[in-house]
Structure 1
Amino acid sequence: MLRIGEFASLNKVSVKTLRYYDEVGLLKPAHIDEQTGYRYYSAQQLPQLHRILMLRDFGFSLQQIATLLGSGQADRIVLAMLEQRAGEIEDAIRSEQDQLSRIRALMGGIRSGFGQAPGALEVLVKEVPALPVLSLRDTLSDYGQQGRLWEELVGYAQRYGMAIGTAIALYGHTAEEGERLAVDAYDPNDKADDEADDVSDGVPIEVALPLGEPVPPENGRIRVRQLPAVSEMACVIQRGGHAELRQAYASLQDWMERGSYRPSGPAREIHHVGFKETLDVSEHLTEVQIPLSRPEAH
């Protein structure tokens, strides 16, 4: 065993602190010499000391710490708080990575004249079958807020044990909801009223996961629905973050204009490789899909 001064020095606390913890009953010495009154501490007391110090770091009072330690719930509470904090840090990293991606894309756009050759990416037209999904839709003030929708949807699916598959995001009103072009709804930095018939003050976004087992119940916000089959879907594959996706949308819009196509529904983003797989946005792989229709002849 170690004398109080040695124990304090090795564990980076003061002797005064250990004496106070002894007085309030948080951490009593393993042994007190009856003749000298010296306090001795054992290595077996380290877990208790570490719990006290962690709880103090989180702002708990000594009275609260005593209650938690007495109830045996300290580890569970600290673990929950650490998990929450870890999630906040991961969100911050994703946000910073996305901002860095946008800055690099802006620099590239300035150097290249902002996509003077938007058709550089290959556009593939394919048939897409219907897909049952677990879906959450909302209208946000800007594109960058969609992270909280993903957190809500994924957390809900995990709560019911549903396997988490490839993330799918849909942007823009359908024709019945206001004739807003799906491709127009993508740009997170465009807060102007582009069209007089725009029926929304925000960006309509739907986040979805392929339906798995067990199927979670609907709760009012989150519902089970089927993404409709599309006979002609224009698709582009783009590597990189959200900023790089502008090139994909530019390529699609240029290709559609040259072919006299129009979007027949919301644009879809299939995140084949996303934040679930890696925080490095340069490794992300997204398939942008736009359902096609030809305008009626006049």
Structure 2
Amino acid sequence: MFGIGDFARLGLVSVRMLRHYDAIGLLRPAHVDPFTGHRSYQAAQLARLNRIVAIKDLGFTLEQVSAILDEKVSTEELHGMVRLRRAQLEAQISADLARLRGVESRLRTIETEGHLRTAEVVLKKVSPIRVAELGARAAGYVAEDIGPVIKPLFAELCRRVEAAGIRIAGPGIAYYRAEDDGSVMAHACLPVNVDVGSYDFLVHDLPGMEMAATVIHHGPMEAAGATFQALAHWIEENGYRSLDLAREISLHCPADLAEWVTEMQIEVTGA
């Protein structure tokens, strides 16, 4: 038998924690001295303590821990719970990192406000173009919502176009449409020179733009907000009005995202 202090040391927990576990019936001492109230534990109880701590650290409440232990969870089941929790934590970490990148991008947008040079904006006519296209829904316009949707969409579209034996005839084009429920439909397009036919992707003609305000963005798309907002300021300051058509043309997409080159296009009218 071990006193509560020794048992806490052996189990790598605090005495206070053991007292709390006793109070809620999660881990009762093997013996309590009726005169002094001193608690004593058996070495065999370390097995239950280990399970309590492991399950609690997976994010379960103590009430849930108690219910799980009552079901006599096996070691293999505990490993399965760890694997599931690891996947959940990795997803959360990924989401948090994406959110942090979004904050950093927003700060860069704030820092660069007003620094876009007029000469960087080019007004031009954009011709219609035939494309292969796939679409998917994103939760919103923020980078952490768009990125995980549009990137796999382009990868899948490339796979399908190549499987159909079709040659890609130009750089990728992305555009987005807001839905009534607040979500966004992301569209990935690849220029092709084929007739409209029966494929496992859409083949159609993207409409042209009589006049588009365009600017080149250098770097990852997560940081493109500053470029798009600067372009919006230019459009307004020069007396133009934007129409409901904007596109991103992927001119250069190497492995290093810092070297990406993307042309931003916003259809405009009237000077």
Give the one of 110, 124, 127 matched to 2:125: 127
Counterpart AA for 2:137: T
1:289 aligns with 2:270: no
Q: Matched residue of 1:264: which SS?
A: strand
Map of 1:152 onto structure 2: 156
Contiguous gaps of at least 5 residues in structure 2: 1-93, 140-144
Partner of 1:202: 183
Change (3 A) 1:215 1:280: farther
2:172 to 144, 167, 172: 167
Q: How far apart are residue 152 of structure 1 and its match?
A: 2.2
Say whether residues 1:114 and 2:111 are aligned partners: yes
- Which residue does the alignment assign to 1:257? 236
1:211 and 2:195 correspond: no
Contact between 2:113 and 2:226, CA under 8 Å: does it hold in 1?
no
Task: Give aligned-pair identity as a percent.
Answer: 27
RMSD: 3.0
Q: Residue 280 of structure 1 corresponds to which residue in structure 2?
A: 256
2:210 is equivalent to residue 223 of structure 1: no
Shift in alpha-carbon separation, 1:108–1:230, aligned structure 2, 3 A? closer
Contact 2:108 2:226 (C-alpha < 8 Å) held by counterparts: no
Q: CA deviation at 1:248?
A: 1.6
Give the deviation of 1:134 after TM superposition.
0.7
Deviations, residues 82-121 of structure 1 (Å, cap 9, x unaligned):
xxxxxxxxxxxxx99x959757645645xxx433315346
Contact in 1 for aligned 2:137/2:184 (Cα 8 Å)? yes
Aligned letter for 2:135? Answer: R
Q: Distance in 2 between matches of 1:171 and 1:253?
A: 16
- Separation (CA, whole Å) in 1 of partners of 2:266 and 2:111: 22
Which structure: larger Rg? 2
| Equivalent position amino acid for 2:267 in 1 | P
| Residues in 1 aligned to 2:240 and 2:193: alpha-carbon distance in whole angstroms | 34
CA distance in structure 2 between the aligned counterparts of 1:118 and 1:254, rounded to whole angstroms: 11
Structure 1 residue 213: deviation in Å? 5.2
Which whole-Å deviations, capped at 9, do the CAs of 1:128-173 have from their partners, x for residues lacking one? Answer: 1110111112322221222221122111101111123311101235
Distance 1:240 1:231 in 2: 28
Q: 1:204 to 1:290 in 2, by over 3 A?
A: same
Aligned to 2:136: 138
Q: Which amino acid aligns with 1:238?
A: H
Give 2:215's aligned amino acid: V
Question: How far apart are the structure 1 equivalents of 2:191 and 2:243?
Answer: 22
Contact 2:128–2:206 (8 Å) recurs in 1: yes
**Retained in 1: the 8 A contact 2:172–2:250?**
yes
Letter matched to residue 261 of structure 1: Y
| SS of equivalent to 1:152 | helix
Structural mapping, 1:8-19, within 5 Å: none
1:261 offset after TM fit, Å?
A: 2.4
Q: Please give the secondary structure, in 1, of the residue aligned with 2:162.
A: helix
Does the CA contact (< 8 Å) of 1:140 and 1:202 recur in 2?
Answer: yes
TM-score by length of 2: 0.54
Say if 1:238 and 1:287, in contact at 8 Å, map to a contact too. Answer: yes
| 8 Å Cα contact 1:139/1:203 also seen in 2 | yes
Within 5 Å, which residues of 2 pair with 1:36-51? Answer: none
Corresponding residue SS for 2:167: coil
What is the rounded CA distance, in whole Å, between the counterparts of 2:196 and 2:180 in structure 1? Answer: 33
Segments of 4+ moved more than 6 angstroms: none
- Structure with the bigger RCO (C-alpha within 8 Å, sep 6+) is 1
CA, structure 1 residues 291+223, in 2 after alignment: closer, same or farther (shift >3 Å)?
same
CA contact (8 A) 1:162 1:216 kept: no
